[in-house]
Amino acid sequence: TAVHIGRDSRYMGTLYAADAPRMTAATAISRLRRLGTQTIGLLSGDRDAAVSGIGMELGVDYMASGLLPQGKIGELENLRDLTEGMTAFVGDGINDAPVLRLADVGIAVGGLGSDAAIEAADVVIMTDELERIPDTVIVARKTKRRVYENVILILAVKGLLLALGALGMAPLWAAVFADTGVLLLAVLNSLRAYYSKV
């Protein structure tokens, strides 16, 4: 960011300030790559020199600078065309709200971020710790796995009881007991995700 300094209507000089990447950004990006993330981009409203410096330091695949909110939307759509799979966008400011809404998964970082970003996001990480982003991927995958396990368990038990009932081998009380039992098993299976470490 350039700050022009003047005194008594005279130009004194320019002061340049640059953002440094958050300390945990490199770790978060490395973990996301290990989890199978194909393309990581940096979309920013900052100057090109600042964005390319940070992007190269972090090793991102795609960089775009000087973007207004509509420009970020266009770049996200470009990334969608270049890559396969879902897109996620991480942001914390009011300028990020439209892109957070457009992405397949919008992630707002920082509980003190703008209300617009938090409202637009699908996931809100209440701290500024970027390493929580890969943690959310892990939790989402575990949750999806538990849902599949529960559906398969419930369908298997219900199918078995349906077959036994059709053959006259399962009384009504057994079906009620099995229905309640399979529900409890599904709840207990789901709780495993809560108690497992990320």
Residue-wise pLDDT for 125-167, tens only, equals 998 899 999 999 999 999 999 999 999 999 999 999 989 989 9
User: What is the rounded average pLDDT for all residues in the chain?
Assistant: 90
Would you state the torsion angle of the CA atoms of residues 178, 179, 181, 186, taken in this order, to the nearest 10 degrees?
130
Shared domain for 161 and 124, answered yes or no, is no
Identify whether residues 162 and 75 lie together within a single domain. no
This prediction's pTM: 0.79
Q: Give the pLDDT of residue 160.
A: 93
- Residue 197: predicted pLDDT: 78
**Shared domain check, 123 and 149:** no
Question: Which three-class secondary structure state does DSSP give residue 25?
Answer: helix
**Average pLDDT, integer, range 48-75:** 93
Query: Residues 121, 36: one domain?
Result: yes
Q: Cα separation of 51 and 29, whole Å?
A: 16
What's the domain count of the chain?
2
Q: What is the structure's pLDDT at 111?
A: 66
Q: What distance in Å separates the CA atoms of residue 128 and residue 148, rounded to the nearest whole number? A: 32
Residue 148 located in a structural domain: yes
Q: Same domain for 161 and 85?
A: no
Domain range enclosing 28: 20-130
Residue 190 falls inside a structural domain: yes
